[in-house]
Structure formats: structure tokens, C-alpha cells
Amino acid sequence: MTEHTLTVAGVAVDTRHWIGGERVASAETFTDVSPIDGSVLGEISRGTATEADLAVAAAKAAFPAWAATSRAERARILHAVADGVEKRIEDLAIVETTDNGALLRSHRRGVMPRVAHNFRFFADWLLKLDHEDFETRGHTNHVSWDPAGPSVLITPWNAPLMLSTWKVAPALAAGNTVVLKPAEWTPLTVSLLADIAAEAGLPAGVLNIVQGYGSEIGDALTSHPDVRRISFTGSVPTAQRITQSAAANLTPLSLELGGKSPLLVFADADLDLAVDLAVEQYDNAGQVCLAATRILVEETVAEEFTRRFAEKAAAIVQGDPRDEATDIGPNIHERQLEKIDGFVRRAVEAGARAVIGGHRGEGRYYAPTLLTDVAQDSEIVQEEVFGPVLTLQTFTTEDEAVQLANDTRFGLAATLATGDRDRAARVTQRLVAGTVWVNCFFVRDLQAPFGGSRHSGVGREGGTWSFDFYCDLKNTVTAPKGWKDHG
């Protein structure tokens, strides 16, 4: 091991940036800590505007050749990256669990295989990306997707590698070069991705990874005049700052932001199914932007629903995420834990009642919590907590249910439990959300559009929508005459 390498559960991870196909160290570092037990994992290179400039310059230099690379060759390399991910699923899983506290079993069985799938899906989609030519008064219209240029991708800590590759894969498939900045709380697995991509034959400078704080390196990236696309997943305040930074250069943005999604439970629903859906919202210790944290239950079944929910939630096992028996691991950081606890304490002081939970556990664990007797205009109902905290409200009519569901500044997702197909059709049409699940939750297909409405985001990615964002769409109109025969 070198001074720039740390070992996590036997896996060597380089702590330096990846710029232009080389490891680059910074003069200063920041400390990476595991949320599982608070142990220090290592010191990570702390980038500034200097590293931002180097990374963008590397991406700009590599762009012409990568943009000119054939679709088939780009797809081949992305499949090779997916092969590399699959060979290292166990390494990636244990490193990410140690770094962000999510369940090891989920990383092994679902998350890391999805990382590989991200690359395979967009590689395959690239090869079939097409728009049928059409005619206008005898002239032929041909639509093409031209690579836009260097792209800055800024990703969150709750699913670091999966959400990074959800952006990296389509950007690279589109022919763009990338500068990726992971969240400073979870920098490790994207460093391993750099190694995997290099081994797969991705040319130097096509993928660059820089680490550090948003205030020190993020602003330099998002305001850079050579950046042609910015994709960000995170909080509304950060998105507002990024938007201001990008405005001077009119850099196109894709923003996937927070949520305060509802789960509507009607009296005609399968209550056992509805309870299962509600308890599922505690997944990843509540650190899921799509989570339906506002449970809205028809009044006639609210008492029975609450009883069954409390019984089901009591069986949740909270503990070390490396243990196969664990259902919920820790929250990411002491600062996040204090934020969660502050939300709950203020809600209780305002009159809310904790049906379950409502308190911290040992270390960085927060007890799964359900609060009732909450006002619609209260902070706990209106603002994103991003922890294992749900609220429960009741309604008496379908109109009231929809009104409550839509009455926040967010619009990322919504979940609906009902046994009536006609009601499902009516209600889903009226809900303000980028994704609506009916009698299910978290069923995701990469060919579907993904994004949020209102303060939950700007734009959509997924399938062709990703290529529409990462490319400059061009329409070429060709006349039927004026040609000279050179035969």
C-alpha cells in the first residue's frame, strides 16, 4: 500500500483524483468516515478550482476523438466496463456498504448488478437510437443526436455508484466526455470505477473523477465555460446555486432534487399490501429521494392500517448493515442525524404524536418513526427529512386525498394503493409527480422517463430522454434536387 491507498475490508482504494487517465493528488485532504461505527476510513484528496480546471481540460481534449468514435465501438467499451463491474461486485459491495452504511445484501444482489446494467442498457440503447426520416414538401428531414461536449455530473451519497453510473453511462454512450464529482461523504466506489473503466479500455480523459467539497470544487466545475452539460442529483438549495453558476454560460441542466412523496391508501385497497408498501419506505434508513414519507389513509380504515403498520414495523431489524439479518442500517453522518432528530423534536413540540420511534438510537442510528396528529402546513409534512421518518394523515374523499397529496412544493413521485381500477386511473391523472406507482413501489425501468416536477427537478433522463439531454439534437433537411451526377 502507498500513502495514497487505503484498504477497506481487504479492498485497495486509491484516494486520489482520476484526471486524464492518471492519478492526481491534492495538497490537502478531507477525512472519510464510515457511518457504521464512526471509524476513519482514510484521507481523500481534496480538490479545488485547480483540479476542476485540469479535469475539464482533460475532458475537452479527449472529446473530439471520443465523439468521433463509432457507436459500435462506444457500446463495446461500455459493455467491457459492465463486465469489469460484474467481476468486482463483491469488492464494490463491501466498500460501498462501509462507506455509506446501506445494506451489504442489497449491494450484492441488487445495487451493484444494477450498476453493470446501467452501462449495458445505454450501450444497447445507443445502437438502436433512431428517428424515422420524414418528408416536408418533398424534402427529407433527418434527426441526429450529436455529442454535446464535456459534461459535469454531481452525485449524492445515498446510492453513490448506482446514481453516478445512471449519469455516466448515458453521457459516455452519447459521445460526451465526463467530469464526475461524487459526494464528499462517499467517495470510494467511484474511485474503483476509474480503475475498472481504465481496464476496460476507456480512453484517457473520457472519464475524469474529482473529489472534494462543493464550495471548493463544485462551483468551479459548474461555472466553467468549457462545460456543455451539467447533471445533478441532490438538494434544492444546492441546485439553486448550480443553476446560478451555470447561467452565465447558458449550460443546459438536468436536476433531480428532493421529494416529499405521498402514499395514498384508499379503503378499497388490500390493506396488507398497503402496509407492506408503507413499511418499505424505511428502506436505506429513509435515505431515498423517492420515498413516500407522507402516508394518507382513508379515515374509515386508518385505525386498522395504523395497527397493522405498527406490528409490521416492530419486526424491522436495525443494526450493522453487513449482517444479513439487518433491515435498516445507520444514517450517513452525524450532521444528517442531528437534522433528522431536529425535525422530529420540533414536530412533537408542535403536537405530533410518535406511534413508533421518535428518538435516536446508539451511534448513527435513528429509530423508524411514524408521526400522527400533524398539520398539513407543518414543517414535518412540507419539508424533506431524508431519514426513517413517516407521517400519517387521514382523508374522507378522493378529492381531499388528491388535494393533500399535491399540497407541497415537491413532485417527484407518488404511490397509490387501491382495489378500484377506475379510481386508480382518475387519481394518477391528477397527481403531480414524475413517477406514480399503483399497488407497487420502486419498480424502475431505464427506458422510462425519470425526473420530478416543481421543486423536485428540471428535465427527464432515461432511455431516449437521456440522449436528448446529453446530445445536441440536429435536424438535417435535404432537397430532392440540385444534385450532380458524378458517376
Instruction: Spell out the domain ranges in the chain.
Output: 5-257+452-475, 262-438
Per annotation, catalytic residue among 184, 256, 384, 461:
256
Q: What is the arithmetic mean of pLDDT over 411-418?
A: 98
> What is the pTM (predicted TM-score) of this model?
0.95
Q: What is the reported pLDDT for 487? A: 55
Q: What cell numbers appear for 140 in the block?
A: 427529407
Establish whether 256 is a catalytic residue: yes
For 249-261, write each residue's pLDDT tens digit.
999 999 999 999 9
The topology under which CATH files domain 5-257+452-475 is Aldehyde Dehydrogenase; Chain A, domain 1 (3.40.605)
Euclidean distance between CA atoms 231 and 328, whole angstroms: 29
pLDDT at 1 exceeding the cut of 70: no
> 480 CB contacts (<8 Å, ≥6 apart)?
138, 139, 140
The yes-or-no answer on residue 289 being catalytic is yes
Helices 160-173, 188-199: inter-axial angle, 10-degree rounding: 40
Q: Give 21-53 as a DSSP string.
A: TEEE--SSEEEEE-TTT--EEEEEE---HHHHH
The CATH homologous superfamily of the domain defined by 262-438: Aldehyde Dehydrogenase; Chain A, domain 2 (3.40.309.10)
Q: Quick check: 296 pLDDT over 60?
A: yes
* Confidence at 432, pLDDT banded by 50, 70, 90: very high
Catalytic residue, candidates 51, 289, 384, 471: 289
β strands within 148-298, DSSP E: 151-154, 178-181, 207-209, 229-233, 253-256, 262-265, 294-298
Average pLDDT over residues 413-427: 98
